[in-house]
Amino acid sequence: MSPVATRRLRRGALLTVLAATFGWVLAGGSWLGVELREAFAGATGGSARSTFTISGHTARGVEPGTSVPLNLTLTNDQGHPLSIDRLSVSLRDVDAPRSDADHPCTLDDFVVRQAPDGLGLVLPGEVSASLQTLGVPVTAQPHVSMLNTSHDQDGCKGASIRLDFLGTGRQVGR
């Protein structure tokens, strides 16, 4: 760790959260919501180690030209509140069983719109709360969209997309 990063950890008890999850978005013919599971968010700051988990779902699937919000749920199992400053979603890979040379489906068919930085969310200790419950309007939640392109996107019907998450924050009062 660099000296600057170490100083930041000591001064502000900065948490860096990395959550590799299984978040699946199904596209095209089969419409199922996003199920984000096994999210782990670990953080270190000072001498204490804090963790929280991230999970979520969508109300509907995604198809060409549509966008669906990810109303993520953050769970803080610690006895102290956490201030969540940033959440980020990225596309990891796509599984498109109907895709072929004439009907491709790649990550290029999808895009993520991030939640704005500086969320300033406070997640109380020993609480599980969705972004919406924490006061984040649907318009500020991360979204997954399927682009409506000029090429045949039938290969994306029934496809699933795996998502990764990254977040930052700090223990409140440190």
The 8-class DSSP code of residue 140 comes to G
Q: Are the CB atoms for 54 and 88 separated by under 8 Å?
A: no
In terms of DSSP bridges, do strands 73-76 and 67-69 run parallel, antiparallel, or are they unpaired?
Answer: unpaired
Query: Which range marks the domain in which residue 100 is found?
Result: 3-171
**Separation between Cα atoms, residue 68 and residue 35, nearest integer Å:** 13
Question: If 0-12 CB within 10 Å is exposed, 13-18 middle and 19+ buried, where does residue 30 land?
Answer: exposed
In the three-class reduction of DSSP (H, G, I as helix; E, B as strand; rest coil), residue 6 is classed as helix
**Separation between Cα atoms, residue 125 and residue 103, nearest integer Å:** 48
Token pair 């969320």 is at which residue?
119
How does pLDDT run across 17-74, given as a tens digit for each residue?
333 344 445 444 433 333 333 334 444 343 344 577 777 666 678 889 999 999 898 8
pLDDT reported for residue 39: 39
In terms of DSSP bridges, do strands 110-113 and 143-146 run parallel, antiparallel, or are they unpaired?
Answer: antiparallel
How does pLDDT run across 105-159, given as a tens digit for each residue?
999 999 999 999 888 899 999 999 999 999 999 999 999 999 999 989 999 988 8
Domains held by the chain: number: 1
Count of C-beta atoms within a 10 Å radius of residue 86: 17
Q: Which two tokens stand for residue 155?
A: 């290969």
Q: Are the CB atoms for 170 and 82 separated by under 8 Å?
A: yes
pLDDT reported for residue 146: 92
What Rg, from alpha-carbon coordinates, does the chain have? Answer: 18
The 8-class DSSP code of residue 141 comes to S
Q: What is this structure's pTM?
A: 0.73
